[in-house]
Amino acid sequence: MAATSGLVWFRRDLRLDDNPAWAAATAEHTNVTAFFVVDPALFDRASTPRIRRLLGDVTALDAALAEHGGRLLIRIGDPRVLVPQEASRLRVTAVHVNHDVTPYATERDELVKSALEANGIEWVPEWGTLVHEPGRICTNAGSLSQVFTPFFRVWERTPWTPWPSSGDATITNDPGDALPELDGDYPVLDGETGDAAVAGERGALARLDLAVARADSYDDDRNTPSITGTSQLSIDLRFGTVSPRRVAQIVGESTAGRAALVRQLAWRDWYAHLLIATPSLVEQPMKPQYAALQWRNNDAEFAAWKNGRTGYPFVDAGMRQLRETGWMHNRVRMVTASFLVKNLLIDWRRGERYFRHVLLDADVPQNVGNWQWVAGTGPDASPYNRVFNPVLQSQRFDAGGDYIRRWVPELAGLDASAIHEPWNVGPLELAAAGIELGTDYPEPIVDLAFSRGRVLDAYAAVKR
Ligand SMILES: Cc1cc2nc3c(=O)[nH]c(=O)nc-3n(C[C@H](O)[C@H](O)[C@H](O)COP(=O)(O)OP(=O)(O)OC[C@H]3O[C@@H](n4cnc5c(N)ncnc54)[C@H](O)[C@@H]3O)c2cc1C
């Protein structure tokens, strides 16, 4: 093979295993530079814990490359400038990447691709962040299904593209710029200790082991936020420290629980496929009639929601879990999002942006897709007249009140029958639990029946 140099620009694929861009580059070139750009624009968009997690994973990737005799070349600045610049400086013949699906990434990549091609450097994109690439999962009519179940039927019987195999290229040994330093530990979730608390691919595989150990009961436990009943792999999938195919392969489908967990990866693919097909989803409702919805957008209520002070314990528990850990259980994400959009009649885009800033797993297609689902404005969405009742949801999915007790400790003295709706608890019982409503814990900021009627009217007005 003639000696050539290639560059792999790592973005949200911070691993060497099942990484098609890495495999293609190391197989095609004799010399490969592993490259990462710290884009300062990110520091405005992401919470500090998420940046800390990212930088931890980048450092771990560098350490993994060192085991192969190389280093991760790091540069700080605008990737639209730095990628073409470094590619020319290193005299590479090709830049290899795994696609990203957001409008921001697509636009950035188009600019980088043009700049590279103007210098005679090839742009080689692969798909490494999804189980199936966009365009592969089509209905009989040859298009992307706007409904999940038909998509899933094709998804589960579509064969995977072959696993990529890496070559033995020499890896460049130039570390580049020092990473910015942020105080604080690498953020991990409940129950993740030992290897499962370390950054990068090694940590991700240990976290996957934990997820596999509880996968058989996933179907039974996934809706109980007080326990660790889900895989908690969303952050690793977000940063690409593990590939979704590796997760699907290792979890398998030998039990109902395992199959149900793998099915969630199809939702992840579906929202990504939808976003690449319809980039306006990030800002616009997929169902155009909802663009005319009259939101109330009350700032004080938005602040109460963000701070976990709505007076609805299940909602507040979720918002506090999010603020304190950067993660929230899926059931509670649905209830808190519904509360904002339906009970407070606040634009889903405000909630989506807040989640996008704070979530460690914040991922534009998943976040936008789910927010539109909750708002009833998106594809295969929850019907507009479905308004989650936060009290009934709490009684059903946190029957013993353990989740509320953990995140809203001021209510911990109330028993399981009282904790879901403290405003209905008599003064003696409240006093015995050490609670003065309105002082220690807020009165409900909105009446459920009234707000249900209000949102149904607002949606009905634009449906007509
Ligand atoms: C309003 C709202 C916002 C959300 N924002 C995000 C987000 O920014 N990033 C994100 O990864 N997920 C998001 N989700 C989806 C879901 O809540 C999380 O993926 C899940 O809670 C992560 O926990 P887990 O890894 O234990 O999930 P598990 O239940 O173990 O599922 C395994 C994996 O499947 C994928 N998955 C699961 N549920 C969904 C779903 N509903 N949609 C798409 N993919 C799914 C995730 O990658 C997840 O890691 C959002 C859901 C809602 C209702």
Residue where a domain stops, chosen among 233, 254, 277? 277
pLDDT at 463: 83
Decide if 325 is inside a domain.
yes
C-alpha closest to that of 403 among 336, 462, 337, 303: 336
Q: Decide the pairing of beta strands 170-171 and 122-126.
A: unpaired
Q: Which of 247, 361, 373 to mutate to test the pocket of ligand 1 (most atoms within 8 A of CB)?
A: 361
Are residues 328 and 444 located together in one domain of the fold?
yes
Q: Residue 24's domain is classified under what CATH number?
A: 3.40.50.620
* C-alpha span between 127 and 99 (Å, rounded): 6
Are residues 312 and 432 located together in one domain of the fold?
yes
Q: Which of ligand 1's atoms lies nearest the C-alpha of 333?
A: 53
* C-alpha span between 11 and 239 (Å, rounded): 8
Residue where a domain stops, chosen among 277, 299, 329? 277
Measured by CA distance, the residue closest to atom 40 of ligand 1 is 267
Decide if 188 is inside a domain.
no
pLDDT at 162: 94
Are residues 207 and 262 located together in one domain of the fold?
yes
Measured by CA distance, the residue closest to atom 16 of ligand 1 is 330
* C-alpha span between 165 and 168 (Å, rounded): 10
Other residues' Cβ atoms within 10 Å of the Cβ of residue 31: 19
Decide if 144 is inside a domain.
no
* Regions of the chain short of the pLDDT cut 70: 464
409 by Cβ neighbours in 10 Å (0-12 / 13-18 / 19+) ranks as: exposed
Are residues 215 and 350 located together in one domain of the fold?
no
Which two three-digit tokens encode residue 328? 């929230």
Measured by CA distance, the residue closest to atom 1 of ligand 1 is 371
Residue where a domain stops, chosen among 129, 158, 183? 129
Decide if 62 is inside a domain.
yes
pTM for the structure as a whole? 0.98
Are residues 225 and 322 located together in one domain of the fold?
no
Contact, 61 vs 42, CB < 8 A? no
1 by Cβ neighbours in 10 Å (0-12 / 13-18 / 19+) ranks as: exposed
Measured by CA distance, the residue closest to atom 36 of ligand 1 is 264
Q: Which of ligand 1's atoms lies nearest the C-alpha of 369?
A: 42
Decide if 176 is inside a domain.
no
Q: For residue 176, what are the β-bridge partners?
A: 74
Other residues' Cβ atoms within 10 Å of the Cβ of residue 300: 8
Are residues 408 and 272 located together in one domain of the fold?
no
Q: Which of ligand 1's atoms lies nearest the C-alpha of 270?
A: 43
Q: How far is the CA of 103 from the centre of ligand 1 (A)?
A: 20
What three-state secondary structure class fits 8? strand
Measured by CA distance, the residue closest to atom 6 of ligand 1 is 367
- Cα–Cα distances in Å, from 238 out to 243, 364, 380, 414, 462? 10, 10, 23, 38, 35
Phi, psi of 177 (to 5 degrees): -75, 155
Q: How far is the CA of 216 from the centre of ligand 1 (A)?
A: 19
Measured by CA distance, the residue closest to atom 5 of ligand 1 is 367
Ligand 1: residues whose CB is within 6 Å?
A: 222, 230-234, 237-238, 261, 264-265, 267-268, 271, 330, 333-334, 337, 355, 359, 361-363, 366-367, 370-371, 374
Q: How far is the CA of 265 from the centre of ligand 1 (A)?
A: 9
Are residues 261 and 367 located together in one domain of the fold?
no
Are residues 69 and 37 located together in one domain of the fold?
yes
* C-alpha span between 152 and 112 (Å, rounded): 34
Q: How far is the CA of 331 from the centre of ligand 1 (A)?
A: 10
Are residues 342 and 448 located together in one domain of the fold?
yes
Measured by CA distance, the residue closest to atom 44 of ligand 1 is 268
Maximum Cα interatomic distance, the chain, rounded to a whole number of Å:
84
Contact, 294 vs 360, CB < 8 A? no
pLDDT at 54: 97
Q: Residues with Cβ < 8 Å from 322, sequence gap 6 or more? A: 328, 336, 355, 358, 359
Q: Residue 248's domain is classified under what CATH number?
A: 1.25.40.80
Measured by CA distance, the residue closest to atom 24 of ligand 1 is 232
pLDDT at 43: 83
Measured by CA distance, the residue closest to atom 30 of ligand 1 is 231
Domain limits at 36? 5-129
Q: How far is the CA of 328 from the centre of ligand 1 (A)?
A: 9
Instruction: Identify residue 402 by its one-letter amino acid code.
Output: D
Which two three-digit tokens encode residue 254? 């030998």
Structural domains in the chain (count): 3
pLDDT at 464: 67
Are residues 384 and 246 located together in one domain of the fold?
no
Decide if 155 is inside a domain.
no
Q: Residues with Cβ < 8 Å from 300, sequence gap 6 or more? A: none
Q: Which of ligand 1's atoms lies nearest the C-alpha of 236?
A: 49
Instruction: Identify residue 362 by its one-letter amino acid code.
Output: A
Decide if 160 is inside a domain.
no
Which two three-digit tokens encode residue 271? 């929202």
Q: For residue 73, what are the β-bridge partners?
A: 35
Are residues 310 and 407 located together in one domain of the fold?
yes
Which two three-digit tokens encode residue 172? 């460049």
pLDDT tens digits, 136-181: 999 888 999 999 999 999 999 999 999 999 999 999 999 999 999 8
* C-alpha span between 212 and 258 (Å, rounded): 8
Other residues' Cβ atoms within 10 Å of the Cβ of residue 382: 18
What three-state secondary structure class fits 386? coil
Q: How far is the CA of 274 from the centre of ligand 1 (A)?
A: 16
Q: Which of ligand 1's atoms lies nearest the C-alpha of 351?
A: 1
* C-alpha span between 37 and 42 (Å, rounded): 11
Q: How far is the CA of 79 from the centre of ligand 1 (A)?
A: 28
Q: Residue 427's domain is classified under what CATH number?
A: 1.10.579.10
Are residues 270 and 293 located together in one domain of the fold?
no
Contact, 180 vs 38, CB < 8 A? yes
C-alpha closest to that of 244 among 211, 220, 277: 211
* C-alpha span between 6 and 22 (Å, rounded): 10
Decide if 183 is inside a domain.
no
Task: State how far Cα 114 lies from the chain centre.
Answer: 30
Q: Which of ligand 1's atoms lies nearest the C-alpha of 356?
A: 8
